[in-house]
A and B are shown apart, each in its own frame.
Chain A
Amino acid sequence: MNPLLAQLTAAETDGWWAGFQAFFVAPENAWAVSLLLVLIVGKTIPGMVSLLVWVERRGAALLQDRLGPNRVGPFGILQSIADLVKFIFKEDVLPGHVNKPIFLLAPALAVIPPLVVLSFIPWGANVAIADVDTGILACFAFSSLHVYSVSLGGWASNSKYPLLGGVRAAAQMISYEIALGLSALSVFVIAGTLRLHDVVMFQTDGLTIAGTTYDALWARILDWNLFKQPLGAIIFLIAGFAETNRHPFDMPEAESELAAGYHTEFSSMKFALFFLGEYAAMIVMSSLFIVMYLGGWTFFGVENLLTDWVAEYGAANPGWINWPLIVEAHLHVGIFLGKLAFLLWFFIWVRWSLPRFRYDQLMSIGWKRLLPASLLWFALTAVGVALVR
């Protein structure tokens, strides 16, 4: 055992330290652990978003050969903090022509659903705030509430362009939700479960072809749903871009046509909440993509490096907090965050590389291309599963 950990646990076998450990280990106090995780995730997301905004602005500058924010702190990394301070102290304009309760409700609704969805994401083997058996359905149920913030925000503004932006956004988001749901469906046909933890495990149990299970590295790589569901993954990713109103589908806030779309009338922290909501939704979509197609917290066996240590420590110290388990959780979350960083960069990369679609193109891609393609893929998957079995 690690000598430092041995010292840590042997130091006090009674007193507050033992009581502290016993409290968190007791099954009836599982809520306390959940509450702790809620606070950690809930506090991390705004921080992650402010970092992401900085990365987006620096990334845009990099791709377009300009400087980007470079004044506040080294490489301008504190720019988002400065922006936050400004958001707080700017005048909180509540225009006279708006529907006040709904005008205030809309920005709040932009933040709450993505946060709730993040509580279903398995960040590691033992790190999920709520590991529920409805899994992906619960995620879709809450993430589709996001459309309310956009459409209510546009409607409550009592202003022409926000209304148009809100209506467009609502139509876009619900259109792509069908393709999103249908492409995800194929994953659950092959996995046979909706629980996200099991979907991740399904991608690490080795590739089974005609009754033989292969466990070599190539099989572990091909076991990711990305390779078993290539078309489904692409459709899911495209629909995810549209669902989060990101380029090339950012019609709801097309500046050249709609001023700023649904959030034209919003200022100060109300605008910041919409902004936070959009980036949090990006994190949600990327996380779902990682869990469903990119093997979640696993990385070809690296995630199992500490399993022996965890088991050994757990057997030797019953009734104690399993510290190696927490170290392992950090490893898993680290792998997950690595994948998340790549996908978020992909979102930014696409935004600054592609031009925007026209609205009729956007609707016809959703309804006339992605919907039949995902239905076809679903049929192929079902027949394939029946044949292989």
Chain B
Amino acid sequence: MNDYLPVLFMALFGVLFATAALGVSALLGQRGRQNRVKNTPYECGMPIESHAHARFSVKFYIVAMLFILFDVEVVFMYPWAVSFGNSDFARDAFPGTGLLLAEAAAFVVVLFLGWVYVVKKGVLEWHQEA
């Protein structure tokens, strides 16, 4: 855990830096008058139309779900990659290089089939109405 202590230092430095920057600006910044127009959302000077939290395409949620599926699988492949790339481990390991490769192949094929399904379903077609 000692290896990660400097990371904590850096995170603390980041927090202090951000706080100081925001604090300096709040303390030294020009004080302007508040008025109703200034407090409205910025829409390039046009009168505001409709509520800010309008509905947006459901595609964004689908992309988020796909991200979770695919990214978790990518993370699962990292331990495999390191064990496979480490020649000592791959030679001495029980399954041997061939089986290690076959296991990864099965995993990647399933991932790829999932990707084909997603594409065929038209999930990634952004010009169509959802």
Instruction: Name A's B-contacting residues (CB within 8 A).
Output: 31, 34-35, 37-39, 41-42, 46, 87-93, 95-97, 104, 107-108, 111-113, 115-116, 118-120, 129-133, 137-138, 157-161, 163-164, 167-168, 170-171, 174-175, 177-178, 181-182, 185-186, 188-194, 259, 264-265, 268-270, 272-273, 359-360, 363-364, 367-368, 371-372, 375, 378-379, 382-383, 385-386, 389
Contacts and interface: CB of A to CB of B under 8 A. Distances in A.
A163 to B, nearest CB: 6
Contacts of B86: 192-193
A163 B86 CA distance: 46
Nearest to A265: B42
Given A115-B13, A174-B67, A360 B126 contact: yes
Nearest to A34: B6
B13 A42 contact: yes
A269 B23 CA distance: 9
Interface residues of B, number: 72
A264 B42 contact: yes
> What 3 A-B pairs have minimum CB-CB distances, sorted nearest first?
A192-B85, A269-B25, A360-B126
Nearest to B68: A174
Given A158-B41, A363-B126, A378-B108, A386 B98 contact: yes
Contacts, number: 229
B78 A167 contact: no
Contact of A111 (B3, B18, B112): B18
B60 interface: yes
Contact of B85 (A104, A170, A193): A193
Contact of B60 (A42, A116, A167): A167
Contacts of B19: 108
Given A265-B42, A375-B108, A189 B85 contact: yes
Interface string B13-54: 111011101101110111110100011111110000010111
A210 B34 CA distance: 74
B32 to A, nearest CB: 4
B71 A177 contact: yes
A281 to B, nearest CB: 13
A191 B78 CA distance: 12
B40 to A, nearest CB: 7
B86 to A, nearest CB: 4
Contacts of B9: 31, 34-35, 38, 119, 129
Interface string B110-130: 011001001100001111000
B93 interface: no
Contact of B14 (A111, A137, A265): A111
Contacts of A273: 18, 21-22
B62 to A, nearest CB: 9
A368 B124 contact: yes
B19 to A, nearest CB: 7
B6 A37 contact: yes
Report whether over half of chain A's contact residues are helix, strand or loop; otherwise say mixed.
helix
A167 B25 CA distance: 28
A1 to B, nearest CB: 31
Contacts of A46: 17
B89 to A, nearest CB: 8
Interface string B67-82: 1001100110110011
Contact of B112 (A89, A132, A189, A372): A372
A174 B63 contact: yes
Nearest to A190: B85
Contacts of B52: 97, 157-160, 163
Contact of A160 (B41, B115, B119): B41
Contact of A367 (B21, B124, B127): B124
B60 to A, nearest CB: 5
A34 B71 contact: no
A257 to B, nearest CB: 12
B112 A375 contact: yes
Contact of A119 (B6, B118, B119): B6
B70 A178 contact: yes
B108 A379 contact: yes
B69 to A, nearest CB: 10
Contact of A95 (B41, B97, B115, B124): B41
A363 B63 contact: yes
Given A35-B6, A118-B10, A386-B97, 11 more contacts: A37-B6, A42-B14, A97-B39, A130-B10, A132-B7, A163-B54, A188-B78, A265-B41, A364-B126, A372-B115, A385-B84
Contacts of A269: 21-22, 24-25, 29
B42 to A, nearest CB: 5
B75 A181 contact: yes
